[in-house]
Amino acid sequence: MSRYVLGVSALYHESAAVLLRDGVVVAASSEERFSRQKQDSALPVRASRWCLEQAGISMADVEAVVYYEKPLRKFERILVSQLTGFPSTLPAFQRTALTWLTDKLWVRNALCKELGARPSQLMFSEHHLSHAASAFYCSPFERAAVLTVDGVGEWATTSLWQGDEHGLKPLSEVRFPHSLGLTYSAFTAFLGFRVNNGEYKVMGLASYGEPRHVDKVEKVLQGVDGGGFQNDTRYVAWHKSTVRSYSGAFEQLFGAPRQPGTPLDPRQGEGKHYADIAASVQVVLEERLLALAERLHADTGLDALCMAGGVALNVVANRRLLRDGPFAHLYVQPASGDAGGALGAAQWAWHEVLGQPRVDPGLTPGLGRDWPDDRVRTLLDELNVRFDDVADDRIERAADDIAAGKVIGWFQGRCEWGPRALGHRSILADPSRPDMQDRVNKVIKLREPFRPFAPSVTAEAADTYFDVPPGGEGPAEWMTIIGDTREEHREAMPAITHVDGTARLHRVRREVNPRYHALIEAVGARTGRPVVLNTSFNLKGDPIVSSPVHALSTLQSCEMDAVYLGPCRVARGQLPRGGAS
């Protein structure tokens, strides 16, 4: 009889639920894909129920419901920090007392009440242990060094581990308030972007700048002997405030912060100044990560590195680690943020508490909700939406559209696990058209013009067009590393090549996603390059679409030309007046 473990992460960042059957992932989803609240942090009630439905079981069939961290230890850290900073922490203390006493302290109750778990089913992992477990147990390595880096968990903000046949062994950690993730977030806020959401914008902005302020950033974040780091707490405020992450001294060091929402041209004037700051913090982050990697390599003597935690989503740093660091192989758990904690919590319980041997967890890009072809057709009929049934030639039709310069929505198979669109819920276009970046940025995604799009390329052609450091092929399948667009192809693919010549490529293997692979090949047959521009299927501020209704609503709200919903092609003109939803 099969055994089930449900992992849950919630209450801080993006919440998620993951169901393992005999150690293999059968269903995984963020709550936002159901609630339609971007980065929804509420308890993943709908995602959990869907996981159980997907497996055809009830909560009573689940052996363990595993929460991804220890709330009481987190509460302890918060109380200690606030008492240490008293009286300046008083306003923060009031908010803390309110949120914890009304909500966060009672996770055990909420898991029983909202999810239907029994108290005897509950287990609690630790925040960085969950990150580490997700990285190691999903990796292809039998033995590996593991590095987890984020804002903060209970106390740890960075943890070093060794994973092998005996499980995960903690080696060392850096504790709050010293934090690489919070440092990067403080600069994110200073540069006028939203914390927990705009960090990748800082990374994109950094490519326009020169690291002129490294010495200043190093005042905020210093390296220490042995590969560690520490923050000078005079410059930061995250340890004593719930609304500010940097101090007045920080502003004296870097000047006035950028006002959110104001125009930003990173090539000149004030915009260039902010780009220089972004470049500087990116360089310092990379240096600190390299030092940690050196330490971890020295401690373990292993040649493979696994990573998770929000900072592991810094794809630029990941390349630097692989290119300039001591490890020959790298694996980054694709849902490295806290959503991935649900996965790691479940894997920790399965392997380290229930004592089960390692298995291939079957992590594929599509672990979320599916919409069978017949249901899509029925739904479109019910919504009065006209469509072309392209079940037998969807690849050819979609390739024709892309080659003709159209922008299409590609809604095929199960929804993605993790923050990236990997060919299941993607907006696709031809990257060789000079106007395409502008068009998709301005009229579809409403993004900052300085941000490039990512390319999807067939694995067979990846080396022809892109240069990824040795060992980076695996991460490139999950868009967790960047490569260089080869010099001779940069001009031909402006929409997916960043200002510094890099691209966050998505390497697509036929065995992993045969339909998407076939589509890219078909595009290649028409354009001469098996490469498509791939961006997530959503509008600004929305989560990635998860149902055909969301997809139609997106088609209606922007200048996309058509969507491929399973076997159905719906063009803009086929939508009924007044909308489909």
Query: Site residues (CB under 8 A) for other proteins?
Result: 12-13, 41, 49, 52-53, 56-61, 72-73, 75-76, 78-83, 89, 92, 95-106, 108-109, 112-117, 119, 151-152, 176-177, 179, 182, 189, 195-196, 238-245
- Residue 401 interface partner, choices Fe ion, other proteins, none, CB cut-off 5-8 Å depending on type: none
Distance of closest approach, residue 197 Cβ to other proteins, in angstroms: 11
Cβ(229)–Cβ(180) below 8 Å: yes
- Neighbouring C-beta atoms of residue 269, cutoff 10 Å: 10
523: amino acid identity, one letter? V
Judged by beta carbon, residue 26 or residue 189, the one nearer other proteins is: 189
- Residue 245 interface partner, choices other proteins, Fe ion, none, CB cut-off 5-8 Å depending on type: other proteins
Distance of closest approach, residue 151 Cβ to Fe ion, in angstroms: 7
- Residue 105 interface partner, choices other proteins, Fe ion, none, CB cut-off 5-8 Å depending on type: other proteins
Distance of closest approach, residue 314 Cβ to other proteins, in angstroms: 19
Cβ(146)–Cβ(327) below 8 Å: no
Exposure letters 100-119 (e unless 16+ CB within 10 A, then b):
beeebeebeebbbeebbbee
Name the residue among 483, 465, 464 with its Cα closest to residue 474. Answer: 483
Distance of closest approach, residue 158 Cβ to other proteins, in angstroms: 14
- Residue 150 interface partner, choices other proteins, Fe ion, none, CB cut-off 5-8 Å depending on type: Fe ion
Q: What is the DSSP letter of 415?
A: P
Distance of closest approach, residue 95 Cβ to other proteins, in angstroms: 6
Residues near Fe ion (CB under 5 A): 150, 338
Distance of closest approach, residue 346 Cβ to other proteins, in angstroms: 18
Judged by beta carbon, residue 70 or residue 319, the one nearer other proteins is: 70
Q: Which helix (H) or strand (E) holds 332?
A: strand 329-332
Judged by beta carbon, residue 102 or residue 259, the one nearer other proteins is: 102
Distance of closest approach, residue 79 Cβ to other proteins, in angstroms: 6
Using DSSP's 3-state secondary structure scheme, residue 312 falls into helix
- Residue 259 interface partner, choices other proteins, Fe ion, none, CB cut-off 5-8 Å depending on type: none
Judged by beta carbon, residue 31 or residue 150, the one nearer Fe ion is: 150
Q: Which helix (H) or strand (E) holds 156?
A: strand 156-164
Using DSSP's 3-state secondary structure scheme, residue 429 falls into strand
- Neighbouring C-beta atoms of residue 486, cutoff 10 Å: 16
- Residue 75 interface partner, choices Fe ion, other proteins, none, CB cut-off 5-8 Å depending on type: other proteins
How far apart, in whole angstroms, are the C-alpha atoms of residue 293 and residue 160?
9
- Residue 320 interface partner, choices Fe ion, other proteins, none, CB cut-off 5-8 Å depending on type: none
Distance of closest approach, residue 278 Cβ to other proteins, in angstroms: 20
SS (H, E, C) 333-369: CCCCCCHHHHHHHHHHHHHHHCCCCCCCCCCCCECCC
Distance of closest approach, residue 57 Cβ to other proteins, in angstroms: 6
How far apart, in whole angstroms, are the C-alpha atoms of residue 390 and residue 477?
28
How far apart, in whole angstroms, are the C-alpha atoms of residue 321 and residue 323?
6
- Residue 348 interface partner, choices Fe ion, other proteins, none, CB cut-off 5-8 Å depending on type: none
Judged by beta carbon, residue 83 or residue 525, the one nearer other proteins is: 83
Judged by beta carbon, residue 108 or residue 433, the one nearer other proteins is: 108
Name the residue among 568, 103, 101, 155 with its Cα closest to residue 380. Answer: 568
Judged by beta carbon, residue 286 or residue 338, the one nearer other proteins is: 338
Paired sense of beta strands 221-223 and 229-231, if any: antiparallel
- Residue 338 interface partner, choices Fe ion, other proteins, none, CB cut-off 5-8 Å depending on type: Fe ion
Judged by beta carbon, residue 299 or residue 370, the one nearer other proteins is: 370
How far apart, in whole angstroms, are the C-alpha atoms of residue 406 and residue 428?
9
Q: Which helix (H) or strand (E) holds 110?
A: helix 107-115
Judged by beta carbon, residue 132 or residue 284, the one nearer Fe ion is: 132
How far apart, in whole angstroms, are the C-alpha atoms of residue 128 and residue 159?
7
